[in-house]
Structure 1
Amino acid sequence: MSSSSSVNDLKEDVLFLHYETFYSLVKGNCGDIVLEIMQAQHISSVDCLLDHSSSSLSRLNNSSDLIIPEGLVQKFLFLSTLIIYSNFIMKSKIDFTCFNPMMANIIKNSITKERDYRYDSIVRQFAATSYILGDRSSYEFIHLNIPAFLPSVQSIQSVIASSKNHFTEGHFDFNRVDSTVTVSKVTYDTQTNTFIDFSLPLGQHGLPIIKSYSTDSFTCLENWYSNKPMAKSQVAHLIQPLSYSLENISPYLLAKYGTNNKFKAPYVISRWGYIYRQCKAKGVRIIGYSKDSNSRYLNAMRRSLGVFGDFVYDNRPDYYEINIPNTWNWLLVQSKQLFICMQEPHAYL
């Protein structure tokens, strides 16, 4: 090609040149040798060059691959990492259900203004879990160091606060499956305006009286700290579902509250009866209860099983009959039982 012209000098009408006018352009810009090659291959216009096909071009034209300019890859080095990552995903058996939306979310948010950031539902769930299992400091550390990844602390706090899974101390929720971690110190619940983990008094059906420690008075709170018993341990009512078709079903937390262990066996029996009736109303049959070696619970088990006596279930046609062999004279329980009791660390449903 002559030094006095270049492809930048070509006009748009070059696409409309054919035969002699096209050959004249080729000769003027590329010389006689290129002109002879064009004529020998019967290339008489630019269209002929655009329509040229070969095995290598066919693969490119028919492929769905995205071609990234080398200069762009050199400028943004993370693109090469993404290419390696995508090839790894194609061959890997690892589940990337969570990771892929996170990466896509970061990239989408990175090209928009911060006030327009949007977060995938999986990212929001991950953020809420990270905030709950970790703490505010660790969440803020991740939020600051990985831009466009997680919602702000204020946003995730609002999501958690508006959740229907809020847990009230001492409240028996038969409509919810929950796995809330118990807390072993006095804390303030902003939603119910109560102080948690004083020892809750027991009321009807042996249930703790919820919201017993709710006040707006600092003097009252000070008096509680001075005179009210603190919870020395936590009572957690867990339910373990049983199923023929499913294995390893996780137990869930029905209720949790603090106690100072100053209660009697009749409260336990009354509470078991209440739980039994409420679950039955929901179509769930309680098979039995279990507890550790706490003397009050062991006493309640002995009474409800009719050990050394009879525990009468008045007007309860739903009890079941235990066929006790005559030779089992060592088993001192009554044959009619509404539920069984055992010394185990789980409750069975």
Structure 2
Amino acid sequence: MYKLAIVPKIHHTVEYSSAYGSQHDRDHIKKCATKANKSKGISLDIVYEHDFFGRHDLYNGVLFLGLSPTAHTFIQEDYEIDMFSWAFDQVRLTDNPKIFDNMSFMFEQSALDFSSRENLCYLPLAFQSDRIVSEGKEPEYDIVINATLDRSRRATAKTHRRDLLEKLLKKGLKTLNVNGRAEFDTEKRIINYLKKYDNFSVLGEWGNPEHYSLGEFALNVPFHELGSQENINMNWGLPNIELENSNFLIHWDIFRCIGAKANMITFDCKETRDLGLNENSCHFYKSDTRDLDKMANEIEAIVKSKQIKTIDQETWNDNTYQTRWNFIFNKISSIVT
């Protein structure tokens, strides 16, 4: 029997490994992989790096969920094992793609076009479909934003989340920040700054489906800090203006909004619409971090419209982790059997 090791990069003891939207939720990986593997006859073992690297010869194949520096070294060796990954490897695919020459197949989270590689396909993150969306209370806030606020590692617009929220608070919008790192010093400084507004509140949790209904609208601000000061000289395959103001990696909060069937407000871009979101299921703003006044005005107009939009069932189904794992196992089984 073909033996496959599934190796999450983030250990199950790490604070956010099992959070809503996490790719590294060990129990959910087991549940989805087992269901996706039904009738395929592959033996599965979820194992972490320390144990896997010492006994990799016990397996016929390995699927890395994220690639650590040690895993990047491993995949360049000529081991007699099929190698798969589901990860975000945009920089290395751009700068040094030869390190992936031993890979049997790659499921890549970056939305950049890597179609020249025949053994690679785009596969973004998702959400855990078994996290039940309970009937929530009437929303207490105009806006809920499930996110950390610090973006100081960026090259530009380092305080854009704080500044955007301040503009919305000044417009009188009652706002809740659900923040899993609210007790971290970097977050505390921003939260304390915003607490001078009576219409601002914070909840120190990572965010579960029920939290997305605490506001009439769930606000998503997806602009990354990946092109940070320490990484700005890397070749990301994008000009810096796009690196700072586009959505080349769909982060987990959009999927959590979809899973919670939230009345979502997010940045309008192709990558987001490719998930199945449209004007019937989602509110969009078009501004980026270069014009926060305009962004705040767009968001204010959406909130004042009081319009409720609902995620359709097809888009919900298409973005579950179960759907992603079904795709992964169909591909792996077509290669190894």
- Which one has the bigger strand percentage? 2
Higher relative contact order (CA 8 A, sep 6+): 2
Q: Same fold (TM over 0.5)?
A: no
- Which one has the bigger helix percentage? 1
Structure whose alpha-carbon radius of gyration is higher: 1
Q: TM-score range by the shorter chain?
A: under 0.3
